[in-house]
Amino acid sequence: MASDTTPLGRVQVELVGIAMDEALNQAAKRLGVVRKGGASGRGWSRYRLLQKCPRAYYLRYFAPKETDAQPMRHSPLELGSCWHEFSAYYYSNMMAIGMGLHEGPAPSALHAALLETDADPIIVAEAWRLFEAYADHYEGYGDYLIPLAVEELALDKATKHSCRYDLIARVDADHPMAKGMEPGVYVVEHKTASHINTEQWHLDGEVIGQIMLWKAAKLDEKFGPLVGVIVNICTKGKVPSFHREIVTPPWEQMAAQTQHLRAWDRIERIYQIEQWPRSLAACYGDKFGPCEYVEECRE
């Protein structure tokens, strides 16, 4: 284990058990259901890693097929992945109740199934602690989000750009907790964070991309016009806090995002020709500590 006594903090820990993505797949299989979350395909997380370090991008998306390169450390994103999956089960059941359908496995069932896998129990326990606090908070105050879809996949067939919406929800004007909000359909993006930051989401590639893909994937025909994105933040403190930031960037941002993603597609081909150079400036970050592939590059 790493020397940090808070293994989910800034210092990543050595792998204990299997990666969370595999554990969630195994847990879903144990419950007899299809995994709710997961990668979307060519989403923003790929571009974010490409911009951070071409070598890490290669190791994540190409090397496993050729050299079996695997991360030596747990990614700090695994906590968020686990929390997301608990939330997906939670809102799926809420949606089923609203439609008069049979409920699926509860988040507690997923928690129990994860503990039967070889997932790192510390990560599972922390994700469950945060989710329980979240559910208690919004059940106590009365959640104004009316779920319409959970883990909805969006794909622009022309560009192959994609995303997976954590939650699509409707907000009604007459709900007492939604005062001042424009009623209508929102994308809800779940985030676990060390603290509440309201500024960073208004120029976040993932959030802008979700709005960009709404019409391209023809989701306006399925759910109606999109009002904006609600960034649903849960902090990771001893006493979690919660905030929902509404993001409605100007439509010019969508055109810019489309143009810039095309540019990054061209840059990716250059990186490939240059055999995926390392970005040593990204080996140790201020936020999450060492890159999960730092030993691979050092050796």
Can you give the pLDDT at residue 6?
A: 37
In a 13 Å sphere around the CA of 239, the CA atoms on its Cβ side amount to 0
In a domain, 236, yes or no: yes
The closest alpha carbon to 28, from 88, 102, 94, belongs to: 88
Can you give the pLDDT at residue 9?
A: 39
Can you give the pLDDT at residue 16?
A: 64
Type of residue at 181: M
- The total of structural domains in the chain comes to 1
In a domain, 208, yes or no: yes
Give the model's confidence band at 32: pLDDT under 50 very low, under 70 low, under 90 confident, else very high. Answer: very high
Strand bridging mode 162-171 / 184-193: antiparallel
Q: Which of 31-35, 93-97, 162-166, 172-176 has the lowest mean pLDDT?
A: 172-176
Contact 48, 205 (CB under 8 A): yes
**Residues 33-85 pLDDT 10s:** 988 876 767 778 899 999 999 999 999 888 865 445 555 455 668 899 999 99
In a domain, 211, yes or no: yes
Average pLDDT, the chain: 86
The CA distance from 24 to 17, in Å, is: 13
Question: Hey, what's the torsion of the CAs at 116, 117, 120, 122, to 10 degrees?
Answer: -20
Residue partners of 152: CB distance under 8 A and separation at least 6: 164, 165, 168, 219
| Domain extent for 74 | 20-258
Distance of CA 195 to the CA centre of its chain: 17
* Higher per-residue confidence, 286 vs 163: 163
Task: Say what percent of the chain tops pLDDT 70.
Answer: 87
Strands lying side by side in the sheet with 226-235: 146-155, 162-171, 184-193, 226-235, 242-247
In a domain, 125, yes or no: yes
Q: Whole-prediction pTM value?
A: 0.84
Residue partners of 75: CB distance under 8 A and separation at least 6: 12, 19, 292
Can you give the pLDDT at residue 74?
A: 59
In a domain, 235, yes or no: yes
Q: Which of 1-10, 65-74, 82-91, 105-114 has the lowest mean pLDDT?
A: 1-10
In a domain, 7, yes or no: no
In a domain, 282, yes or no: no
The CA distance from 74 to 81, in Å, is: 12
In a domain, 283, yes or no: no
Can you give the pLDDT at residue 246?
A: 94
3-state secondary structure of 272: helix
Strand bridging mode 184-193 / 226-235: parallel
CATH number of the domain encompassing residue 177: 3.90.320
Q: Which of 16-30, 138-152, 227-241, 282-296 has the lowest mean pLDDT?
A: 282-296
